[in-house]
């Protein structure tokens, strides 16, 4: 019996069947020769593509290393001038306005924290609009316990009424901006 897949026949021996090679047909030989020719042609193309890809990866890695060295040297050169600023001579006052929502409370906490981490010179004030008395007390307590200890002389909070309803019947929540 001829196996189409392997091109081998099995001889039907009672004890042990064994496979013996059969000669390939002309069509199978043509296909095989064509595959060999295609492989011979494709192999150099694939290899040259791999070599180009490896060269590109190497170039990118070297370029990234040079860029990071340049960035590090720029940062080292510019850092002393940033640190050398004397807070007493700088008259910055950063003011940002928010509403009285829990989401804006966390945004404000992160803002104050980053100002503290980067040693932002001057005063930072959060203007909070539209809190009811209960929310205002909670927010003031949070500010006093979590934010104020970072920089008591520089971080401030200021509460204002709700300005979004200045005109009766209308509501513009960004009025305090």
Tens of pLDDT, residues 74-109: 555 544 455 555 556 667 899 999 988 888 999 999
pLDDT in tens, 1-42: 555 555 555 555 555 566 666 666 666 666 677 777 777 777
Instruction: Considering only residues 143 and 65, tell me which one the structure prediction assigns the higher pLDDT.
Output: 143
Alpha helices in the chain (DSSP H): 26-83, 102-117, 133-142
pLDDT in the model for residue 56: 66
Residue 53, in any domain of the structure: no
DSSP assignment letter at 149: G
3 assigned to some structural domain? no
Q: Please give the pLDDT value at position 172.
A: 66
The domain tally of the chain equals: 1
Q: How many helices (H) and strands (E) does the chain have?
A: 3, 5
For residue 107, the tally of other CB atoms under 10 A from its CB is: 14
Q: Is residue 21 part of a domain?
A: no
Q: Is residue 113 part of a domain?
A: yes
Domain assignment present for 114 = yes
| Residue 128 forms part of a structural domain | yes
More confident residue, 121 or 60: 121
Going by pLDDT thresholds of 50, 70 and 90, the confidence category of residue 130 is: confident
Instruction: Provide the 3-class DSSP secondary structure of residue 20.
Output: strand
Domain-embedded: residue 119: yes
Domain of residue 111 covers 93-160
Domain-located, residue 123: yes
Dihedral sign, Cα of residue 13, residue 17, residue 23, residue 28: positive
pLDDT computed for residue 57 by the predictor: 72
Average model confidence (pLDDT) across the chain = 76
Q: What is the mean pLDDT of residues 123-138?
A: 92
> Is the predicted pLDDT of residue 115 greater than 90, yes or no?
yes
Q: Global pTM?
A: 0.48
């Amino acid at each position: 019996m001829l196996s189409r897949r392997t091109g081998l026949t099995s001889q039907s021996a009672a004890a042990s069947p064994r496979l013996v090679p059969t000669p390939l047909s002309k069509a199978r030989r043509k296909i095989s020769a064509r595959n060999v020719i295609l492989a011979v042609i494709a192999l150099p193309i694939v290899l040259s593509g791999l070599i180009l890809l490896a060269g590109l990866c190497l170039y990118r890695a070297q370029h990234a290393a040079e860029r990071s060295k340049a960035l590090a040297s720029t940062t080292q050169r510019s850092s002393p001038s940033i640190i050398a600023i004397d807070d007493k001579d700088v008259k910055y006052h950063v003011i940002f306005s928010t509403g009285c929502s829990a989401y804006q409370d966390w945004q404000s906490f992160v803002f104050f924290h980053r100002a503290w981490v980067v040693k932002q010179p001057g005063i930072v004030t959060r203007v909070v609009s539209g809190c009811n008395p209960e929310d205002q007390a909670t927010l003031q307590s949070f500010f006093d316990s979590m934010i104020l200890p970072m920089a008591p002389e520089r971080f401030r909070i200021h509460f204002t009424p709700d300005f979004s309803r200045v005109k009766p019947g209308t509501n513009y929540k960004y009025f305090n901006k």
